[in-house]
Structure 1
């Protein structure tokens, strides 16, 4: 067993059902791990399932990838609770007078002359202030405002209708208003990415040009990092005890990092709040999927929310974790270390796991010992021969002797001569004496 640079960690998850299903580990309540991190309950279950197949020494299996939580310190608050980075940068202002506008749109309202209802109470944002550094506008430059929602009055018939994400000009510091156009459905200014989201950084060169020329004057930069999980390889090592795990190689996460420039562009005819489905989480997930393809610098791809260019990509591979897992065998041997011989004449093979002693014809069980590697050894010896106890001979009752010759004693059974020699001689003497006495009496 390796002893350098290791520490023992007993996993907190009980083996439960897996232990009941795996007799080889039934004597232990937990896997003992010598590693940098304890095994998870899922990893333990997979190791138990592998051991249940009774693997041999040096057999290996892959029990899968480690669970990885991608790093992020930010949570998108939801489509009804976020504040767009443009609005965070913008300065809230009031409309200074009752302007009249011409609508420019892709629907039936295109070309209508309108005014903003309740213009003095509309909450608006100074678009110029949304640019980097919040510069002070030059007097002659255009000044545009943005409002999340306004109600418009058709000057032709007095009818009213409400539009969202409206952009419209007001007088600049010189008192001029070069444009009279009102646009709506300008989703850029309600982009569902917050200024506090560390995954994105907006670079807005000149926000006042966005209403006129679209998204060509700002860029969204994103840095995407993906942690690459390592896999855990399990290798059987019979020098370890059942339930012991040693880590030969510590798992190390890999990583992929991509940097992207995004040209955010949504069509202005999306119905309702459809644009809100493309949140920062959705955009980041699309970029993360691209990182996984190992892109090359300057690669380009398009998504419904915009066009993307890869500006940088780096990666480092994961290092797989290698664990050695112990197993035990049960051996049946004689006192001299040779295998017990079964009734069919073949040596009794070792058995997987820690098994109880067994009975073998011609052998007597002696003892059981445990080897340093955890193996169990049942020791036997040859059974001693058991002598068969002899049956005692039954003396034959003598018949009445002939007048002239006494009856000879019964002949002992084969094998009884040595045991009953004295007894036979005694009987013979008694019979001879009796015969002599009877003869004498008759002659008297």
Structure 2
């Protein structure tokens, strides 16, 4: 399959371990597990903030943010690239080395100006002092390579070889030695890529588990992935709801952290060219990783795919964004109403639950509590009572005068009678 066709395929990455020491587990910059921090119970701090808000006498529908909850800090990755002269490349077994036990006749395979393969018989100068590192291969490669003389492979950063045709010497860099076939290949830059085997920030992915090590991880046969994420804070919001009663608080929605994450999938522009060395060797894994961190920190919120290039080659960035869920607490308030028995309002309602008041020309009757907790004081109008006069009516006066005259007349008659009897 051609390299271009391979790139046009849908990118479904197949991860394969390159030996036991190459970790295939994605390592995130931040904790990627969403957590629910909020409690369905209103805390004492929240109650204090709510009471402070209620002292301002908010009305139905008013709201206020009383707190912001931040996710717990995650310990940062402390790994640092050790330097170009001290790193352990991810594709090599640095604990499995060898030196030649004799002065082997080898065959240096290279391409001419027409890209045709040619072989030059060579021997390694100072052959017994050159240290070779065993390369990492996959089980698929091991199962299929032996019949084709492609068995164990070893790498050396730089060697000098002697052309057995004319006894001239020339230098080879990033050399791979095939132990079975005695072939030498130069410019295998993947084995000198400044990416360590134990760098926890990078994950290596293989598109072809056989061809990748066979081609010495040539461009198009392997990629790397860098993943990172962070949790997003949420607010605690208090909403006034007149349908609830005083001191009644309902947690409508528990707070939940949001998440912003990204996976950068990149490839290396290495195609067996000597002039590729400066184009990547100045970019250590620190430089590449920190560039991705900067992109992540300055990216827009939202889920999208972005494409770009860095010192190693091209990459695709797959962003995923999930909004935070705020903590919502509904809080009740009540009013006191002053009305007549038929419901007529005697004065504007008053915030809170208040006592009975004296209202001119009205007397208090009773108090009731509405379904929403409001207090209603009921009054009725005072009816004025007429005072009875102490002065007798006209008819009564005449009767009184008549009675008085009758009594006087009777007294006069009695007196006259007594006087007459004395005279007899």
- The TM-score normalised by the length of structure 2 is 0.47
Higher relative contact order (CA 8 A, sep 6+): 2
- The TM-score normalised by the length of structure 1 is 0.45
